[in-house]
Structure 1
Amino acid sequence: MFKDHAKIINAISVAGEISGRKKLQKIVYIAKKLSFPFQEKYQFHFYGPYSEELTLRIEELCNMGYLNEVREKRAGYYQYCYSITEAGRDFLSMQEVDMPMLEECLLDMNEQNARFLELVSTVLFFDTLEKDEVIEKIFTLKSKQKYTLEEIDEAYVYIEQLQEKAKLS
């Protein structure tokens, strides 16, 4: 049970701080699609792949004092920032979490904005389809985001770059 909690704490620890619930969801999903051993189940939701399990796990970790959740007011909305606490570091030191290339991938993903990660995770969610079918899905399901063909191409290139980083393990 706590192995999955430790993986989430480790992810936030190596990222330093993750700003935004949506961004956190996308980072864990993308890492899972890169074959890092995250167990959370995802379904397609308003903002792309979403895991209720991950939401509950984060809430538990905050309640146990292993993660900090800070609510910051941004231009008309609130954003939640996550970081590891001292108790979280102690807990993590007692767990075996072996994901050597995760740090490099997570640091890279954490530098991206949530909108781009939403696109990347959507492309990965439909990775069994041909590219033109994925593009059609994006234009239909994500029409409000107004993604361009150039952005979709960037997402495919970015996925390849992450896959290369993940393979180095």
Structure 2
Amino acid sequence: MLKEHAKLMKVFSDSGEIIGRKKLQKMIYIAKKMQFPFYEKYDFHFYGPYSEELTLQIEELCNLGFLHEVKEKKGGYFQYRYSLTETGSAFLDHADLDMPDMKGYIDSVNSRSSRFLELVSTILYFDGLEDEEKKEKVFTIKSKQKYTNEEYDEALQYIEELKQIC
């Protein structure tokens, strides 16, 4: 039952801390697209790919005392910080987890802004489309974000870099 939860705990163990629910959603989605063994179902939502399943798993990990969640007031909104607890770390030490090394991937994506990861994950969500159609789709559905052509190109380049890391 906790195998998928343990995979998430490994992400927190490797990252030290993840700041933001949106960033967490995008990190796991992108990891899944990079062929890491995550199986949460994603749908397209306000901020790009979103998994209700992942949200519930994180809530369960917090309730079990394996994950520490800190809610901070930041400007006009709340921001959440997540880190593995000692109990979570002890559980992870005993978990029979068959996961590829994700540390390089985790360090890379965790250093990026959630806004940028939203763009990257949205591009990956529409990876079945032709390049121009994908770009048009992203710029249309993400018009409020006001992404530039340069940011789009940077996101494409970053996806290629991630493929090399993974």
Q: Does 1:112 align with 2:100?
A: no
Residue matched to 1:25: 25
Q: Does 1:96 align with 2:96?
A: yes
Query: Could you tell me whether the CA contact under 8 Å between 2:36 and 2:100 is conserved in 1?
Result: no
Residue matched to 1:73: 73
Taking the aligned partners of 2:142 and 2:45, their CA distance within structure 1 comes to 11
Residue matched to 1:145: 145
Task: Give TM-score scaled by structure 2 length.
Answer: 0.98
Residue matched to 2:156: 156
Q: Does 1:121 align with 2:124?
A: no
Taking the aligned partners of 2:38 and 2:153, their CA distance within structure 1 comes to 26
Q: Which sits farther off after the overlay, 92-101 or 148-157?
A: 92-101
Q: Does 1:42 align with 2:42?
A: yes
Query: Could you tell me whether the CA contact under 8 Å between 1:101 and 1:165 is conserved in 2?
Result: no
Letter matched to residue 78 of structure 2: Y
- Deviation for aligned residue 1:96: 2.5
Structural RMSD (CA): 0.8
> Stretches of 4+ moved more than 6 A in 1?
none
Cα deviations by residue, 1:3-51 (Å, 9 ceiling, x for unpaired): 1000001111101100000000000000010000011000000000000
Taking the aligned partners of 1:164 and 1:96, their CA distance within structure 2 comes to 27
- Deviation for aligned residue 1:98: 3.2
> How much identity, in percent, do the aligned residues show?
61
Query: Could you tell me whether the CA contact under 8 Å between 2:18 and 2:110 is conserved in 1?
Result: yes
Taking the aligned partners of 1:97 and 1:162, their CA distance within structure 2 comes to 23
Taking the aligned partners of 1:51 and 1:123, their CA distance within structure 2 comes to 17
For structure 2, which runs of at least 5 residues remain unmatched after alignment?
A: none
For structure 1, which runs of at least 5 residues remain unmatched after alignment?
A: none
1:112 match: secondary structure: coil
Taking the aligned partners of 1:109 and 1:97, their CA distance within structure 2 comes to 22
Residue matched to 1:8: 8
1:36 match: secondary structure: coil
Query: Could you tell me whether the CA contact under 8 Å between 2:123 and 2:134 is conserved in 1?
Result: yes
Taking the aligned partners of 1:105 and 1:142, their CA distance within structure 2 comes to 25
Letter matched to residue 62 of structure 1: C
Taking the aligned partners of 1:134 and 1:9, their CA distance within structure 2 comes to 33
Taking the aligned partners of 1:36 and 1:79, their CA distance within structure 2 comes to 27
Letter matched to residue 74 of structure 2: R
Query: Could you tell me whether the CA contact under 8 Å between 1:34 and 1:163 is conserved in 2?
Result: yes
Letter matched to residue 150 of structure 1: E
